[in-house]
A and B are shown apart, each in its own frame.
Chain A
Amino acid sequence: MHVEVRGLNKSFGSFQAVKDVEFNVAKGQLIGLLGPSGGGKTSILRMLAGLETPDSGDIVFHGQRVNDLPPQERGIGFVFQNYALFKHMTVSENIAFGLEVKKWNKAKIKERVADLTELTGLKGFESRYPHQLSGGQRQRVAFARALAPEPQLLLLDEPFAAIDAKIRHELRSWLREMIDRLGITSIFVTHDQDEAIEVADEIMIINKGNLEQKGSPWEIYKDPKTPFVAGFIGESRIVDNIAALRGFGDAAVAAGTKGLIRPEYIEIGRKEEFTQLLSATETGRVSHIHFRGSEWLVEVEVGGIKLVTYRSLEKEVLHPGDEVQVLVHRAYLFNDSQSWVMENKLKADPMFVYI
């Protein structure tokens, strides 16, 4: 189902939860609504579902405005954060509920329930009650139950929040695979960026009721449109006096410009590790190092500016207090009026320096 949202607003009392949100979701896409808790993601999801009424704006499914359609008529599957399984019904009764409501005939219901328990790997658990299932199994029941009436759109509210970190990874790829196979348009809410990046075709970053940016995970990482997005995705440090760094002097043109630098934008090492780019580096001092399992996380100070970066385990081990060369490849700059990505000027044209 193609989903279109225009000028969506929602307030609870004096608190504006959703502000002028607009987006399109193409058929078959899997979209992640990502943002901090309390940012309005769940409100958007609930308005799509019809559980909450927008103050203004249009929700359009398949070119048809559905604002006035009650949730029962929207043909949406919804997976709740804590699954909201019917406690007094078994797994198969839970799955069959929506079909019974829709007055399917008994034989067809039985067949569909059998298909879904098979699909979700719940075979053998049909007559268990929710309290007899593990978290992951409950999530699968919620998923199967939402899919049973063959919805055109699947909405998932923090689908993995209540699951142990270990199983979460497994379930994520399972869900991704399942949705790919069914080809159903899906939107899920999460506050976990790894989850969004790993699962979603496209991410929508929601903050304080605003849709900050929509795009593929790579686009959002590579080209953040707002400082919030830049700071929210990936790890980063904000540097106030970015113009003091070598190669970023041009940042001083607009007053109040700050820089956001990701660890992966920075390279550090002994002088001899840099060959041609040495002139673009600055001298810094290692202040702390942390072992991160697959790499070192190094904190380094360059003329009073604190930066963090990673360092491969294959390279020589650094120690706090060591003097190192620091190369900042690029920074994401922003001020009150605009934001842009700036490459290290000295690095962009190394030959110029050498001549």
Chain B
Amino acid sequence: MTMRRLWIGLTTLVFAVLLVVPLLRIVQGAFDQGWDGFSAGVTRPEALHALMMTGIIAVSVTIVNTIFGVLLSLYLVRASWLGKRVKAVMNGIVDLPFAVSPVIGGLMIVLLLGPDSAAGALLGRAGVDIVYALPGMILATLFVTFPIVIREVMPVLQEVGSQQEEAAHMMGAYAWTTFWRVTWPLIRWSVVYGVILTGARCLGEFGAVLVVSGNIINKTQTATTLVYQDVENFDLTAANSVALVLAAASVLLLLVMEWSKSRKEVH
């Protein structure tokens, strides 16, 4: 019994020191000059712009990667037109963005599409900027968050098997109807879970975006890169204010995540 108390106490302590105290410290830091310091930090034009950029990136990336993630999961699990070997290789490659440092992810896009590269020069002449502009930042975030939805959806698809879909085919339903009426209800909550995780990752993406964006104030700066810049400028209150907004959004997403997890288990 004493052992039990000891372990529970120790674990709670570790959680408190490692996770909760730092989080509270941000709150304290944001308000160390009162409400005014916080609101001044958040309502600066560059902060508003940065939050808007983060929002744009999060929404567009989440939408694109959800659609492609679900489709690719379906293909990797179900498709008969892909050989087993091809599927296994693709399955291994899907995880790559998890293994790649975000900075490297950003570097890849700079190398491939930056002004010094062939493709970048071509696009630049056509008047399309990728690197140091929004498209590059979206691309970098797409890369980083690519595996998340797939890793959530694939196991569920594997577990439920293809018989219900085949049953729908036998009753005359084509791929589209089958997907929406049979497959989607089965994977719905896993997709929601994947979407939330993707969203959280988009909000928080830093390294890749920092490299690709060039961190230009009021142009390509996102909330996380603004926090970075504020810290570099020793403006800790401002940094804390923006960080608090980000942290609040993340914690909110975490709560939704817990809720969708419980829904996922029900179905």
Contact A78 B172 (CB under 8 A): no
Measured in the bound complex, the distance between the Cα atoms of B187 and A87 in whole Å is: 12
Contact A101 B172 (CB under 8 A): yes
Q: Give the segment of A69-77, A180-188, A287-295 that binds chain B.
A: A69-77
A98: B residues at CB distance < 8 A: 171-173
Contacts A88-B186, A97-B181, A101-B177; is A146 near B170 (CB within 8 Å)?
yes
Q: Is B166 an interface residue (CB 8 A)?
A: yes
Measured in the bound complex, the distance between the Cα atoms of B171 and A77 in whole Å is: 7
Q: Is A311 an interface residue (CB 8 A)?
A: no
A81: B residues at CB distance < 8 A: 163
Q: Is B8 an interface residue (CB 8 A)?
A: no
A49: B residues at CB distance < 8 A: 170
Contacts A82-B163, A87-B186, A88-B267; is A71 near B181 (CB within 8 Å)?
no
Closest to B171 in A: A98
Contact B164 A97 (CB under 8 A): no
Contact A97 B170 (CB under 8 A): no
CB-defined interface of B142-155 with A at 8 Å, one 1/0 digit per residue?
00000000000000
Contacts A97-B181, A101-B177; is A84 near B172 (CB within 8 Å)?
no
Q: Is A32 an interface residue (CB 8 A)?
A: no
Contact A77 B170 (CB under 8 A): yes
CB proximity to B under 8 Å, residues A15-51: 49-51
B169: A residues at CB distance < 8 A: 50-51, 70-72
Closest to B185 in A: A88
- Count of chain B residues near A, Cβ 8 A: 17
Which of A73, A80, A85, A145 contacts B166, CB < 8 Å? A80
Contact B172 A149 (CB under 8 A): yes
Q: Is A228 an interface residue (CB 8 A)?
A: no
**What's the nearest-Cβ distance from chain A to residue B127, in Å?**
46
Contacts A87-B186, A97-B171, A98-B171; is A51 near B166 (CB within 8 Å)?
yes
The main secondary structure of chain B at its interface with chain A is: helix
Which of A50, A70, A88, A149 contacts B171, CB < 8 Å? A149
Contact A97 B173 (CB under 8 A): yes
Measured in the bound complex, the distance between the Cα atoms of B182 and A101 in whole Å is: 12
**What's the nearest-Cβ distance from chain B to residue A69, in Å?**
12
- Count of chain A residues near B, Cβ 8 A: 26
B185: A residues at CB distance < 8 A: 86, 88
Contact B167 A78 (CB under 8 A): yes
**What's the nearest-Cβ distance from chain A to residue B104, in Å?**
39
Contact A72 B173 (CB under 8 A): yes
Contact B267 A80 (CB under 8 A): no
Q: Is B168 an interface residue (CB 8 A)?
A: yes
**What's the nearest-Cβ distance from chain B to residue A182, in Å?**
17
Measured in the bound complex, the distance between the Cα atoms of B174 and A97 in whole Å is: 12
**What's the nearest-Cβ distance from chain B to residue A111, in Å?**
18
Contacts A87-B186, A88-B186; is A101 near B163 (CB within 8 Å)?
no
Measured in the bound complex, the distance between the Cα atoms of B164 and A306 in whole Å is: 50
B163: A residues at CB distance < 8 A: 80-82, 84
Q: Is A102 an interface residue (CB 8 A)?
A: yes
Contacts A72-B173, A88-B186, A88-B267; is A97 near B166 (CB within 8 Å)?
no
CB proximity to B under 8 Å, residues A141-161: 145-146, 148-149
Measured in the bound complex, the distance between the Cα atoms of B101 and A290 in whole Å is: 72
A51: B residues at CB distance < 8 A: 166, 169-170
A80: B residues at CB distance < 8 A: 163, 166-167
Measured in the bound complex, the distance between the Cα atoms of B174 and A56 in whole Å is: 25
Measured in the bound complex, the distance between the Cα atoms of B171 and A101 in whole Å is: 8
Contact A71 B164 (CB under 8 A): no
A101: B residues at CB distance < 8 A: 168, 171-173, 177
**What's the nearest-Cβ distance from chain A to residue B264, in Å?**
13
CB-defined interface of B178-190 with A at 8 Å, one 1/0 digit per residue?
0001100110000
Closest to B182 in A: A86
Closest to B174 in A: A72
B177: A residues at CB distance < 8 A: 101
**What's the nearest-Cβ distance from chain A to residue B8, in Å?**
36
Contact A145 B171 (CB under 8 A): yes
CB-defined interface of A86-103 with B at 8 Å, one 1/0 digit per residue?
111000000001100110
**What's the nearest-Cβ distance from chain A to residue B165, in Å?**
8
A97: B residues at CB distance < 8 A: 168, 171, 173, 181
Measured in the bound complex, the distance between the Cα atoms of B173 and A149 in whole Å is: 12
Contact B164 A86 (CB under 8 A): yes
Measured in the bound complex, the distance between the Cα atoms of B186 and A88 in whole Å is: 8
Closest to B188 in A: A88
A102: B residues at CB distance < 8 A: 172
Measured in the bound complex, the distance between the Cα atoms of B267 and A85 in whole Å is: 14
Closest to A84 in B: B163
Measured in the bound complex, the distance between the Cα atoms of B262 and A43 in whole Å is: 39
Q: Beyond the given A72-B174, A149-B171, please list 14 additional residue pairs across the A-B interface where CB-CB is below 8 A.
A: A49-B170, A51-B169, A72-B169, A73-B172, A76-B170, A78-B166, A81-B163, A84-B166, A85-B164, A85-B167, A97-B181, A101-B172, A146-B171, A148-B171
28 contacts between A and B (CB under 8 A): A49-B170, A50-B169, A51-B166, A51-B170, A70-B169, A72-B169, A72-B170, A72-B172, A72-B174, A73-B172, A76-B170, A77-B170, A78-B170, A80-B166, A80-B167, A82-B163, A85-B167, A86-B164, A86-B167, A86-B185, A88-B185, A88-B267, A97-B171, A97-B173, A98-B173, A101-B177, A148-B171, A149-B171
8 tightest A-B CB contacts, nearest first: A98-B171, A84-B163, A78-B170, A88-B185, A84-B167, A71-B169, A101-B173, A101-B172
